[in-house]
Chain A
Amino acid sequence: MNAPERVERPNPIRALGLLSGGLDSTLAARLLMEQGIEVECVNFHTGFCIQSHTGAMRNPKPGAEPARHDALHAAGNLGVKLHLVDIAEDYVRIVTDPKHGYGKNLNPCLDCKIFMVHKAFEMMQTQGFHFLFTGEVLGQRPMSQRRDTFPVIDRESEAGGWLLRPLTALRMPLTEPEKLGWVDRERLMGFSGRNRKPQMALAARMGIRDYPSPAGGCCFLTDENYARKLRDLWAYRGARAYSMEDILLLKAGRHLRPAPHFKLVIGRDEAENYFLSGFVEGRTLIKARDLPGPVTLVEGTPSFEDLTLACRIAARFGKARELPEVTMTLESAGCKESRVVKPLAAHEVLEDWHV
């Protein structure tokens, strides 16, 4: 292990934590801060963060506040600095080829945790932190927070004994900062399992009230509908690859694939229409002329006839669906054309087309 050789007690002792903004990582940070340890946190952006994205793309519900970034607000409440780090490009290989496989959907939880801890370990070494911590609790998550997976995370991230899990430490072997006396083990916790009452009691003791409910997943890859759309993309491209635009577009609109070589993404409200209209490059954008209706993007290699079908489908989802014919405009690579089409009847939109 590439461990820093420090045995004297540094002053201050600086710890870097992985902060999701959920209760566990917040409590872990507070436990260390209560010992006088100087804490900073990091939050990684993978491109799959569920929270806020759907909200940011749809019309707001009346009276609803915009979604907020949980880690940022948790850091604000803790009074610690937060490093927001974009790892989306590097993260592609974790999603497309996870060494430890997927969970129920396309969630590579163990590879993801190893990758994030490794990134944090690099930051620890380059930015003068003395150890790392996470809010992990033994037995809390079926795929990554287990007695047999913690040593794998420690080893494969290369963080080894420099990763402390304050909430579950009493059930784990001693880590380096505990051995060196930098952290008082007596003041750490031995939580385990899925029962969250001990965490809630600790939060109450610490006066922490403003925390998100434990939804059990803030990642699109754990979402069944999203995973299905990503699998569809891979299947019809013939490769397990994706771009940043791909993963954004999978979050918006309804997706229909009338044939293997092309797909439609149809906006469901004004906000999605606006969002989709920013992605015309490399695609064909279809709208009804002079009539209200969705923005539709066509992806793939559609023929002339395929685009006519796409226009008929798009017309079906607009206000013009009952008219005998509608003029649709098509925009692609800077060229515009119009086609007059008959909107598809409801029964002509095949169930199989929905991705």
Chain B
Amino acid sequence: MSEASVDPPVADRMVDARRLLCPMPIIKVDTAMRDMSDGQTLEVRATDPGLVRDLPAWCRVNGHGYLGIRQVGRELTAWVVKGQSGEK
């Protein structure tokens, strides 16, 4: 899935990266994922539009699963799964 489609995934943890600029949202995600177990889902809230391109790229490079992103107004919400590489 990519854009808004089915119900949002249930996240194990949430990172608030609103008003942070690239690459800080990604660095916050990276830091949060270190304390998580494989298969757990992280929800990311952000406002930097670059996340739409950077988060899937980061997941691909580092072997995590990218579940998709939704945008409401300026706010983006995205979901990633730790350690589950490959296209979802």
Contact = CB atoms under 8 A, between A and B. Distances in A.
B34 to A, nearest CB: 12
Interface string A267-294: 0000100110010000000000000000
A31 to B, nearest CB: 20
Contacts of A57: 21
B18 to A, nearest CB: 8
Interface stretch (A81-89, A159-167, A207-215, A223-231): A81-89
Contacts, number: 75
B74 A68 contact: no
Contact of A66 (B18, B24, B52, B58): B52
Contacts of B24: 45, 86
A134 B86 CA distance: 29
Interface residues on B, range: 20 to 34
A179 interface: no
Contacts of A76: 57, 60-61
- Dominant secondary structure at the A interface: mixed
A49 B20 CA distance: 13
A306 B77 CA distance: 41
14 contacts: A45-B27, A49-B22, A52-B21, A52-B22, A65-B53, A68-B57, A69-B57, A81-B62, A84-B26, A84-B27, A84-B30, A85-B27, A86-B27, A278-B18
Interface of B: 18-19, 21-24, 26-27, 30, 47-54, 57-58, 60-62, 74
